Amino acid sequence: MSAAQASIEADKLRMNQVQDLLNLGFRWMKFPAALEHQFLSQDPQQRLRHFIISGLISLMVYDGFLIADYLMIPDVFSIAVTLRLLIFTPFSVIILLLLWLHRDRPFVHHPVVLDSAVLVSGLFAAATLAYALSITHSPLSDFYHGGFAVVVMYGNLVQRLRFWSALGFSLAVLAIQVVGVVLLPNFNPRLVWPICSLTAATVAFSLCANYVMERDKRRRYLLSERERALVKDLSEVNLKLQQLSRVDVLTALFNRRHFQEYLQDLWQRAKHGGTEVVIIMMDVDHFKPYNDHYGHPAGDECLRQLASVMQNSLRQPGDMVARYGGEEFIAVLPDTSLALALQAAERLRKAVEGMAMAHAKSPTLAVVTVSLGVACCNAAMPGATPDGLISKADRALYDAKHQGRNRVCSI
């Protein structure tokens, strides 16, 4: 199997996989390994940019809670300042700065790196809250537990951790809060649930939202992959149709339409450069009697072999061979003199005769032969046109036929 075929088969397998996932869903919020890797690798720059911007905003919000520290736990305010401004903030700024400075390195964009940064920063924030609550004696400290819900929302909704990471993060934050409650100076077991219920509810609701967001993101990715594949298939079909519209189905040569387009383009270049253009027209001698005697399949095979001989005989850069209609073929040779073109046409005539394809109904020779007309013109000459050059080659072909066929004539 060629590399191209292997690639096509791999694309088909991939698209079948994508369609199955769209139809049946994806359990456990995960794709098959190869697809999962590509999904996680999409838009790395955008994800890093979101992480840094939202991280800076979240850091300002985190430090803004110093006001709450001052009002609710004034007895440990100095400790809160140390934790927030002297430890957490510099550490976070350094991490964000390093990620930005190394943004062009692939490892920075790995989902594990960014998720780990979110987990570490979020859990550290939760730990500072729990520590402050465990050492304060302020009567207002019970209201301070709402900060854990903010930490959960930071990881699950702001940074949008992947669902399984978000689940682990949420449970860890909740566990830190429970430990903080247990370590309260006047711990009462009956207060664990009332105090932690707000965080637990935030965990449940934010995880639901996180799940829906990731599910929709994964589905959008699958739809975009399917659309990309459909666009690719459509482009390939259009390309094939375009090729078919320019190629003769029987001989696999270019057809008359494409030949005329090519000649027009070549003519403009030759006119600009003041060079000569040669047209060779070739017609199969007594082809109708051949077709009638041997049958149309044999006639088609004869044309295919003649097309192959003509194409193999005219292989200089810029040469182009086409089927002009019926048993008539045409070739254009750029930047070629008439003398060289006549030599090429004669070699072609001899090559066809040398094929020795039997032609019992030919009055010229007992094998298939061809007549050729050659015309040459400098494209920069006043009044010279591509159609005029074709007409000259056609007249030369007419002369070859009327001089006995199986020959080359020129004008």
How far apart, in Å, are the Cα atoms of 354 and each of 291, 299, 300, 304, 306? 20, 18, 19, 16, 11
| CA Rg value for the chain | 40
Q: What is the pLDDT of residue 42?
A: 85
What is the rounded CA–CA span in Å between residue 270 and residue 300? 35
Q: In the chain, where are the structural domains located?
A: 3-230, 256-410
Pick from 136-145, 184-193, 304-313 the range whose average pLDDT is largest: 304-313
Q: What is the pLDDT of residue 129?
A: 92
Question: What are the phi and psi torsion angles at 403 (to 5°)?
Answer: -95, 10
Dmax (CA) for the chain in angstroms is 122
Q: Is the pLDDT of residue 1 over 70?
A: no
Segment among 54-63, 204-213, 237-246 with least mean pLDDT: 237-246
Across the chain, mean pLDDT equals 92
Q: Is the pLDDT of residue 188 over 80?
A: no
pLDDT digits (tens, 9 = 90+) for 2-31: 665 666 677 778 888 888 888 888 878 889
Alpha helices in 274-407 (DSSP H): 287-294, 296-313, 338-354, 386-402
CATH of the structural domain 256-410, one choice from 3.30.70.270, 3.30.70.890, 3.10.20.30, 3.40.50.300: 3.30.70.270
Q: Which two tokens stand for residue 200?
A: 């637990």
User: Other C-beta atoms within 10 Å of 344: how many?
Assistant: 22
Active site residue 327: yes
What is the rounded CA–CA span in Å between residue 90 and residue 83? 10
Q: What is the pLDDT of residue 11?
A: 76
Do 396 and 374 form a contact (C-beta atoms < 8 A)? yes
Do 52 and 93 form a contact (C-beta atoms < 8 A)? no
Q: Is the pLDDT of residue 401 over 60?
A: yes
Q: What is the pLDDT of residue 275?
A: 94
Residues 100-124, mean pLDDT to the nearest whole number:
90
What is the rounded CA–CA span in Å between residue 145 and residue 180? 10
pTM attached to this predicted model? 0.63
56 Cβ contact partners less than 8 Å away, ≥ 6 residues apart: 96
How far apart, in Å, are the Cα atoms of 207 and each of 34, 150, 162, 166, 174? 26, 13, 10, 7, 13
| 180 band by pLDDT with thresholds 50, 70 and 90 | confident
324 Cβ contact partners less than 8 Å away, ≥ 6 residues apart: 256, 259, 281, 330
Of 87, 170, 76, 88, nearest to 131 (Cα)?
Answer: 76
Which listed residue (214, 227, 327, 328) is catalytic?
327
| 227 band by pLDDT with thresholds 50, 70 and 90 | very high
Looking at residue 155, the DSSP 8-state letter turns out to be I
Beta pairing class for 370-378 and 408-410: parallel
What is the rounded CA–CA span in Å between residue 99 and residue 114? 9
pLDDT digits (tens, 9 = 90+) for 258-276: 999 999 999 999 999 999 9
| 85 band by pLDDT with thresholds 50, 70 and 90 | very high
What is the rounded CA–CA span in Å between residue 331 and residue 389? 12
Do 191 and 181 form a contact (C-beta atoms < 8 A)? yes
Pick from 45-49, 191-195, 394-398 the range whose average pLDDT is largest: 394-398
159 Cβ contact partners less than 8 Å away, ≥ 6 residues apart: 51, 54, 55, 58, 118, 122
Per cent of the chain over pLDDT 90 is 72
What is the rounded CA–CA span in Å between residue 148 and residue 196? 9
Q: What is the pLDDT of residue 112?
A: 87
Q: Which two tokens stand for residue 35?
A: 């697809």
pLDDT digits (tens, 9 = 90+) for 379-391: 999 999 999 999 9
What is the rounded CA–CA span in Å between residue 348 and residue 368? 13
Q: What is the pLDDT of residue 326?
A: 92
pLDDT digits (tens, 9 = 90+) for 28-69: 888 998 899 889 888 888 889 999 999 999 999 999 999 999
Q: What is the pLDDT of residue 305?
A: 96
Q: What is the pLDDT of residue 142?
A: 80
Class of residue 28 by CB neighbours under 10 A (exposed 0-12, middle 13-18, buried 19+): exposed
Do 21 and 14 form a contact (C-beta atoms < 8 A)? no
What is the rounded CA–CA span in Å between residue 323 and residue 15? 40
Q: What is the pLDDT of residue 43?
A: 82
Q: Which two tokens stand for residue 51?
A: 């992480």
What residue type is 54 in one-letter code? S
